[in-house]
């Protein structure tokens, strides 16, 4: 087998394509021939030792994959060689072969391409958990999405429209704004790459102008940094601010704003919710499968790379140039 390994902390350029012995599944595990691996922002952090979890080296990044089961380990039921599956594995996905716990594996329908399957669970699972479970988004409410053209941002646009909300997508370029409008965003705004204090005030004014006199009901913040405070200032009375990610840095929030607006700052840690609330996760996955079958959600894949070009794929994600999803096709 081949794997793109992290052997020392560093950026995408430190990854090394390596030949390894084919793995064997242990008790409760399955061996998967990986066909596609979806890239997510945590992949750029885990190789730098900046993520919540730090695997022992060497390891391959890549937490979201799809492929075919080659063999099953002792005690595994419900799966057989030849099954088409997806899996959330945390890391190890940038490889031709992968051993995964059977509990992390889900069968996929024949009509779902491998690339869609590898780009489905993380972004849509995160965004559905955020909007449904954490924000309790209601029809007719206004949602502001920071990072609207990102993988999770795109999923949030599609899901929010399916839930009957009005969507304002905030992005870093006119190209990304057009992309979000094509996906159904009702309004878009372009924020600068860097914000000073005057820029923060201007951005807050732009958001309020689009939101209307009552402000934004829910903020989906997948950017962080200096963009968080202007978004928080745009909240309506009893608004909800969803903390999703920090590619622009961890923000410092003046908490007096939450008092003045009666608002909530709500953490969104989808991975932990999957472990702690498995029944709710199963219900959400069933809902997402239904929405996919109905054509209401579909991964928007903007770039495809072979396994040996995984560093370039990660760099595209890391520099926030990607729109929608980036995927490795491993055939």
At 166-176, the pLDDT tens digits run 999 999 999 99
pLDDT digits (tens, 9 = 90+) for 213-242: 899 999 999 999 999 999 999 999 999 999
Could you tell me the sign of the dihedral formed by the alpha carbons of 267, 272, 278, 284, in that order? positive
Please spell the DSSP secondary structure of 264-328, one letter per residue: EEEE--HHHHHHH-HHHHHHHHHHHHHHHHTTS----EEEEEEGGGHHHHHHHHHTT---SEEEE
pLDDT digits (tens, 9 = 90+) for 86-120: 999 999 999 999 999 998 999 998 889 999 999 99
The CA–CA distances, whole Å, from 193 to 174, 247, 286, 322 equal 12, 12, 38, 15
If we measure between CA atoms, which residue out of 178, 133, 172, 180 comes closest to residue 152?
180
Beta-strand runs (E) in the chain: 2-5, 16-19, 29-38, 64-72, 84-88, 97-101, 105-107, 142-146, 166-171, 187-190, 216-221, 235-243, 264-267, 301-306, 325-329
CA dist., res. 161 & res. 197, Å (int): 33
pLDDT above 70 covers what percent of the chain? Answer: 100
The CA–CA distances, whole Å, from 216 to 53, 158, 208 equal 34, 18, 8
CA dist., res. 289 & res. 237, Å (int): 34
Q: What per-residue confidence (pLDDT) applies to 320?
A: 80
Q: Is the pLDDT of residue 193 over 90?
A: no
Neighbours of 142 (CB within 10 A): 24
Q: What per-residue confidence (pLDDT) applies to 211?
A: 95
Cis peptide before 191 (omega within 30 of 0): no
Tell me whether residue 319 is exposed, middle or buried, using C-beta atoms within 10 angstroms of its C-beta: 0 to 12, 13 to 18, 19 or more: exposed
Domains and CATH numbers, the chain: 2-120+299-329 (3.90.180.10), 122-271 (3.40.50.720)
Residue 274 CB-half CA count within 13 A: 15
Q: What per-residue confidence (pLDDT) applies to 53?
A: 85
Rounded to an integer, the average pLDDT of 294-311 is: 95
Q: What per-residue confidence (pLDDT) applies to 140?
A: 97
Q: What per-residue confidence (pLDDT) applies to 31?
A: 98
Q: What per-residue confidence (pLDDT) applies to 279?
A: 93
CA dist., res. 146 & res. 115, Å (int): 25
CA dist., res. 115 & res. 187, Å (int): 29
Cβ contact 35:119 at 8 Å: no
């Amino acid at each position: 087998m081949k794997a793109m390994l992290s052997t020392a902390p560093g950026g995408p350029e430190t990854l090394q394509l390596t030949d390894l012995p084919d793995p064997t599944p242990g008790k409760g595990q399955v061996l998967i021939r990986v066909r596609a691996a979806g890239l997510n922002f945590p992949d750029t952090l885990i190789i730098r030792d900046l993520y919540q979890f730090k695997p022992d080296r060497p390891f391959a990044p890549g937490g979201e994959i799809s492929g075919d089961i080659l063999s099953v380990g002792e005690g595994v039921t419900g799966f057989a060689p030849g099954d088409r599956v997806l899996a959330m594995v945390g890391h190890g996905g940038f490889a031709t072969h992968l051993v995964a716990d059977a509990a992390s594996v889900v069968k996929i329908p024949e009509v779902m391409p491998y690339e869609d399957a590898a780009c489905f669970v993380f972004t849509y699972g995160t965004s559905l958990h955020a909007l449904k479970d954490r924000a309790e988004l209601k029809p007719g409410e206004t949602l502001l999405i920071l990072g609207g053209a990102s993988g999770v941002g795109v999923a949030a646009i599609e899901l929010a429209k399916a839930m009957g909300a009005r969507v304002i997508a905030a992005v870093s370029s006119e190209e990304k704004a057009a992309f979000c409008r094509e996906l159904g965003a009702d309004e878009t705004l372009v924020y600068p790459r860097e914000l000073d204090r005057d820029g923060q005030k201007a951005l807050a004014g732009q958001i309020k102008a689009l939101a209307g006199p009552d402000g934004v009901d829910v903020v989906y913040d997948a950017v962080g940094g200096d963009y968080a405070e202007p978004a928080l200032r745009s909240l309506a009375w009893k608004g909800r601010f969803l903390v999703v990610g920090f590619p622009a840095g961890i923000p410092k929030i003046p908490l007096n704003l939450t008092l003045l607006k009666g608002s909530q700052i709500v953490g969104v840690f989808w991975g932990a919710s999957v472990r702690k609330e498995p029944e709710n996760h199963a219900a959400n996955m069933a809902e997402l499968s239904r929405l996919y079958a109905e054509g209401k959600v579909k991964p928007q894949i903007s770039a495809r790379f072979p396994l040996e070009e995984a560093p370039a794929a990660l760099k595209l994600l890391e520099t926030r140039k990607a729109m929608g999803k980036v995927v490795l096709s491993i055939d």
